[in-house]
């Protein structure tokens, strides 16, 4: 019960509920004010205007939010005007529907915010079918009032922004800490649970993508905040938390361990890994608790449990050495020591977040030049050529726009021929659930139908209990607020609440609530069926055919990240910024590849060609990013020896292998090569360096020098990590090249032959 109450508290204090309130006030207040002033006939148009322009109100840059809503207002006004004037002329109306649906849905090529503006435009087209205006004067008055409603919602959003200026950012930071905590706990499970690793790996893909999306939105919000006046103290604190969460994410990525090697090293001694695993779990739970505190404004929890867990992880290294004995224990001890160092760094970042949240005055201040910070922003390209480039059947969005246009025309024609009472409900269902990918459309369709049935059942129960219009009005408002609050978090519940709200709103127009419920359910099922069937048969866009560009970008960014790490090794102070930017780009690229793989898993089994091969490619790319991050993290946090010639030779070999994979997939000619025997020789020399240091340490032990000084320990750690990770990267790049060539031969070449 206590847990449920805490979840309710977090929800009511969240920016999601805040957004539901904004929309609720934006819709209900004009109704109430115009009713009491005696101008109720103007209320529906104002309310529609407010409702239509709410989607663009999402977290991010305030300037971009305002621009999105203003563009949405203009777009919805124009579309409504066109539909209302075309309604009396069926051929013209069908043409206008087709043009609007195609053109407006194609706006989504400009990114997520643009897709919400596009949704507002499509929604205005559907709602226009429910509006009965005959004369030009009535139409223009209605459209003008819609514009006023849109401006009114913008004012409401602005007021909420001023009243709680940091709520969206806090929610995003809270969500990021929550996801990062879950990710850290999931990675802990990979350490010892050998039989469940494949399933866990697939779970990591989802979390990585979600975390990267949060990081991108937070960068946009915090790095562009108050450029002219400078950041406030609170924004400084938020940026510190963001930077620490990004560092934690990189550290987690950097320890994407060679689990097969670890299994071989520890064998029957897996119990010595349990302390490290438990520490990860405790730190993950601590991050989750911190995410809750950001919303609840509670006290920061005690850190003793973290310190004790770290101490136990340190003792497990000594226990392992005492049990297995040197020199046999050296390799395992170095693995545990590297793992401990990484966890110690994680704990330092968590402590930074704790200090910031506890308002410790000594918490370090962010020093980031404006020109440097701009390099971490992923700017959306809004030029016309982006749209032009997508005017091709090769474009997923172009196919989606055509498919949606045909589905909408078919649904409207179906309603016209069979004289369906509320055809626009069918159109609304199609617009809400239809997505570029079949899997997501099918999933949303299922949630929509189930949610509608649940909402209808609840509405029937309420109607049977009471016929009180006051109760209906209250339920309509409350359910609408909660529906919008849950829309992104739980679509099924949101669909149920929207159904309840619509049923009771329509009860004021049609006293027979059961008839309203019946039509709502039937129209939802019809619309969902059309959307799913259209996605399957009309210019289907199967993810297996869309992976090429995503994979090419991942290969390119992996190579750039590898070379940036090489430069970091040469001069850490000079090349730190370029390394961080390359790291961010590589993480985003692998996140996009993971997201594409997730969409692939949602496609029908018959359309998942070469599934295991694609999974191998995704996993190899992911592992490469993590192996590179591991080297970069070690260089960033330790004083290292100068990079050897052998290191540079292997780096060049790995980079060229990645380039060969890219060129093979892109059908371009490779000009540079590194002789295999040269690379093999360099690999042996790196391993020999570690072996020499290891032998020297054995001699010291034999002579009675048991104490290990820090300099020797770091030298051993560096030699071991560099030698093994470079060999690992070389092997990964070669396997990736083979897998990529197989992918090109079995999928890409067949696809190009087909076209």
CA distance 389 to 403: 18
Is the confidence at residue 671, as pLDDT, over 80?
no
Three-state secondary structure string covering 711-741: HHHHHHHHHHHHHHHHHHHHHHHHHHHHHHH
> Of all helices (H) and strands (E), which one includes residue 571?
none
Burial of 647 (0-12, 13-18, 19+ CB in 10 A): buried
Residue 366: the pLDDT is 47
pLDDT greater at residue 295 or residue 259: 295
Residue 228: the pLDDT is 41
Range in 71-85, 522-536, 586-600 the model is least confident about: 586-600
How much is the average pLDDT of 8-33?
89
CA 113 to each of CA 53, 54, 77, 718: distance values in angstroms, whole numbers, following the listed order: 12, 12, 19, 45
Looking at residue 701, what DSSP letter applies? H
Looking at residue 746, what DSSP letter applies? I
CA distance 312 to 624: 30
Write down the domain spans for the chain.
Answer: 1-164, 167-376, 389-541, 544-754
Q: Are 273 and 191 in contact (CB under 8 A)?
A: yes
Range in 49-53, 148-152, 323-327, 424-428 the model is least confident about: 323-327
Q: Are 598 and 636 in contact (CB under 8 A)?
A: no
Q: Are 480 and 497 in contact (CB under 8 A)?
A: yes
pTM of the model: 0.83
Range in 19-23, 415-419, 465-469 the model is least confident about: 465-469
CA distance 144 to 139: 9
Cβ contacts of 685 within 8 Å, gap of 6 or more: 644, 646
Is the confidence at residue 322, as pLDDT, over 80?
yes
679: confidence class by pLDDT, cuts 50, 70, 90: low
Closest by alpha carbon to 682, among 727, 709, 649, 657? 649
Range in 629-643, 650-664, 722-736 the model is least confident about: 629-643
How much is the average pLDDT of 541-557?
88
Torsion sign across C-alpha atoms 509, 512, 516, 517? positive
CA distance 226 to 719: 46
Q: pLDDT tens digits, residue range 696-706?
A: 555 555 555 55
Range in 353-362, 529-538, 617-626, 679-688 the model is least confident about: 679-688
Torsion sign across C-alpha atoms 55, 176, 213, 375? positive
Q: pLDDT tens digits, residue range 155-175?
A: 999 999 888 888 888 888 999
Range in 118-127, 140-149, 479-488 the model is least confident about: 479-488
Closest by alpha carbon to 224, among 380, 102, 350? 380
pLDDT greater at residue 1 or residue 572: 572
107: confidence class by pLDDT, cuts 50, 70, 90: very high
Average pLDDT, the chain: 83
- Residue 111: helix, strand or coil by DSSP? coil
Cβ contacts of 634 within 8 Å, gap of 6 or more: 338, 640, 717, 718, 721
413: confidence class by pLDDT, cuts 50, 70, 90: very high
Q: pLDDT tens digits, residue range 211-267?
A: 988 888 887 777 665 444 455 667 778 888 888 898 898 888 877 666 777 777 777
pLDDT greater at residue 335 or residue 288: 288
How many residues are listed for the chain in this entry?
755
Q: pLDDT tens digits, residue range 304-319?
A: 899 999 899 889 888 8
Q: Are 530 and 644 in contact (CB under 8 A)?
A: no
CA distance 740 to 665: 7
Residue 85: the pLDDT is 96
CA distance 475 to 499: 11
CA distance 641 to 721: 13
The CA-based angle 6-279-624, given to 5 degrees, is 105
753: confidence class by pLDDT, cuts 50, 70, 90: very low
% of the chain at pLDDT higher than 70: 86
The CA-based angle 519-523-528, given to 5 degrees, is 155
Residue 530: the pLDDT is 95
Is the confidence at residue 755, as pLDDT, over 50?
no
Cis status, amide bond into 99, omega within 30 of 0: no
Q: Can you name the CATH fold of 544-754?
A: Methane Monooxygenase Hydroxylase; Chain G, domain 1 (1.20.58)
How much is the average pLDDT of 543-562?
90
533: confidence class by pLDDT, cuts 50, 70, 90: very high
CA distance 272 to 386: 54
Dihedral Cα 439, 441, 446, 452, nearest 10 deg: 160
Residue 258: the pLDDT is 67
Is the confidence at residue 594, as pLDDT, over 80?
yes
The alpha-helical segments, DSSP class H, found in 129-258 are 136-163, 167-192, 197-223, 233-254
Task: Give counts: helices (H), strands (E), the chain.
Answer: 29, 0
645: confidence class by pLDDT, cuts 50, 70, 90: confident
The alpha-helical segments, DSSP class H, found in 547-610 are 547-570, 572-602
CA distance 299 to 319: 36
Q: pLDDT tens digits, residue range 326-348?
A: 777 777 888 888 788 888 889 99
Looking at residue 528, what DSSP letter applies? H
Is the confidence at residue 708, as pLDDT, over 90?
no
CA distance 558 to 320: 36
pLDDT greater at residue 98 or residue 224: 98
CA distance 196 to 189: 9
């Amino acid at each position: 019960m206590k847990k449920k109450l805490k979840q309710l508290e977090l929800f009511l204090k969240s920016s999601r509920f805040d957004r539901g309130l904004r929309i609720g006030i934006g819709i209900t207040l004009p109704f109430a004010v115009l009713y009491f002033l005696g101008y109720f006939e103007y209320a529906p148009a104002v309310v529609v205007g407010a409702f239509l322009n709410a989607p663009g109100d999402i977290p991010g840059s305030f300037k971009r939010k305002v621009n999105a809503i203003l563009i949405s207002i203009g777009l919805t006004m124009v579309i409504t005007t066109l539909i209302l004037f075309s309604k009396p002329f069926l051929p013209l109306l069908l043409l206008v529907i087709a043009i609007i649906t195609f053109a407006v849905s194609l706006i989504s090529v400009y990114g997520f915010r643009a897709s919400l503006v596009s949704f507002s435009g499509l929604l205005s087209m559907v709602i226009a079918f429910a509006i009965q205006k005959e004369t030009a004067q009535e139409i223009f008055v209605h459209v003008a009032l819609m514009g006023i409603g849109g401006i009114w919602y913008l004012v409401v959003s602005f007021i909420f922004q001023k009243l709680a200026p940091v709520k969206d950012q806090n929610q995003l930071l809270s969500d990021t800490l929550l996801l990062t905590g879950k990710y850290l706990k999931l990675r802990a499970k990979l350490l010892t649970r050998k039989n469940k690793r494949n399933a866990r790996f697939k779970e990591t893909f989802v979390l990585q993508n979600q975390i990267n999306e949060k990081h991108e939105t937070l960068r946009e919000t915090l790095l562009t905040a108050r450029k002219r006046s400078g950041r406030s103290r609170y924004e400084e604190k938020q940026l510190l938390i963001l930077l620490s969460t990004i560092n934690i994410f990189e550290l987690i990525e950097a320890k994407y361990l060679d689990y097969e090697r670890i299994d071989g090293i520890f064998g029957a001694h897996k119990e010595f890994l349990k302390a490290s695993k438990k520490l990860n779990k405790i730190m993950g739970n601590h991050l989750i608790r911190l995410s809750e505190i950001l919303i609840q404004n509670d006290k920061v929890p005690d850190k003793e449990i973290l310190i004790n867990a770290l101490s136990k992880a340190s003792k497990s290294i000594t226990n392992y050495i005492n049990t297995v004995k040197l020199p046999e224990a050296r390799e395992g001890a170095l693995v545990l020591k590297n793992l401990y160092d990484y966890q110690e760094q994680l704990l330092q970042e968590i402590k930074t977040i704790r200090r910031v949240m506890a308002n410790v005055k000594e918490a370090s201040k962010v020093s980031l030049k404006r020109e440097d910070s701009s390099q971490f922003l992923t700017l959306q390209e809004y030029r016309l050529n982006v749209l032009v480039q997508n005017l091709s059947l090769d474009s997923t969005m172009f196919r989606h726009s055509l498919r949606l246009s045909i589905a909408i025309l078919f649904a409207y024609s179906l309603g016209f021929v069979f004289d369906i009472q509320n055809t626009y409900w069918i159109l609304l269902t199609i617009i809400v659930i239809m997505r570029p990918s079949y899997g997501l459309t099918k999933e949303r369709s299922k949630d929509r139908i189930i949610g509608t049935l649940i909402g209808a059942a609840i509405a029937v129960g309420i109607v049977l209990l009471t016929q009180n219009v006051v109760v209906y009005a209250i339920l309509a408002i409350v359910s609408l607020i909660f529906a919008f609050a849950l829309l992104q978090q739980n679509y099924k519940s949101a669909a149920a609440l929207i159904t309840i709200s619509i049923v009771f709103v329509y009860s004021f127009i049609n006293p027979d609530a059961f008839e309203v419920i019946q039509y709502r359910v039937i129209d939802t099922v019809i619309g969902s069926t059309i959307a799913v069937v259209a996605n399957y048969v009309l210019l289907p866009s199967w993810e297996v055919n869309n992976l090429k560009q995503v994979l090419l970008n991942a290969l390119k960014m992996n190579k750039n990240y590898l070379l940036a790490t090489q430069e970091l090794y040469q001069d850490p102070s000079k090349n730190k910024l370029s390394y961080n930017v390359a790291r961010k780009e590589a993480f985003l690229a692998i996140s996009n590849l993971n997201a594409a793989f997730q969409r692939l898993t949602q496609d029908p089994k018959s359309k998942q060609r070469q599934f295991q091969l694609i999974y191998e490619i995704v996993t190899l790319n992911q592992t490469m990013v993590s192996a590179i991050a591991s080297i970069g993290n070690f260089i960033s946090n330790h004083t290292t020896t100068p990079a050897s010639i052998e290191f540079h030779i292997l780096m060049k070999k790995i980079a060229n292998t990645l380039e060969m994979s890219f060129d093979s997939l892109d059908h371009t000619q490779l000009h540079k090569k590194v002789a295999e025997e040269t690379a093999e020789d360099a690999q042996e020399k790196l391993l020999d360096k570690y072996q020499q240091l290891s032998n020297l340490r054995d001699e010291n032990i034999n002579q009675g020098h048991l104490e290990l000084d820090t300099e020797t320990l770091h030298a051993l750690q560096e030699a071991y990590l560099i030698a093994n990770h470079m060999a690992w990267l070389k092997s990964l790049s070669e396997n990736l090249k083979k897998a990529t060539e197989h992918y090109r031969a079995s999928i890409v070449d067949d696809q190009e032959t087909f076209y």
